[in-house]
Chain A
Amino acid sequence: MLLEVESVDSFYGDFQALFGVSVGIADGETLAVIGANGAGKSTLLATIAGLLQPRAGQLRFDGLPLGRIPAHRRVRLGIALVPEGRRIFPSLTVDENLRVGARVGRSGVWTRDRIYELFPLLQPIAGRPGSVLSGGEQQAVAIGRALMSNPRLLLLDELSLGLAPIVIQALYARIDEIVREGTTVVLVEQDVGRALATADSAYCLLEGRVSLHGAAASMTREQVADAYFGGVRT
Chain B
Amino acid sequence: MIGGRRAAWWTALAVVVAVLVSGRWWLGEAQRLDLVQFFCYLAMAQMWNLLAGYAGLVSIGQQAFIGFGAYALFVFGDKAGVEPFAAVALAGLAAALVSLPAAAVAFRLRGGYFAIGTWVIAEVFHLLAVNLRWVGGGDGTLIYSAASLDRTFREDGAYFWAVGVGVGSVLVAYGLLRSRLGLALASIRDDETAARSVGVGVVRAKVIVWVLAAFGCGLAGAVYNLPLLRVQPDAAFTVNWSAFMIFIVVIGGLGTIEGPILGTILFFTLQQELASRGVWYLIILGGVALVVAVWTRSGVWGAVAERYRLRLFPVQRRV
A–B touch (CB < 8 A): the answer is no
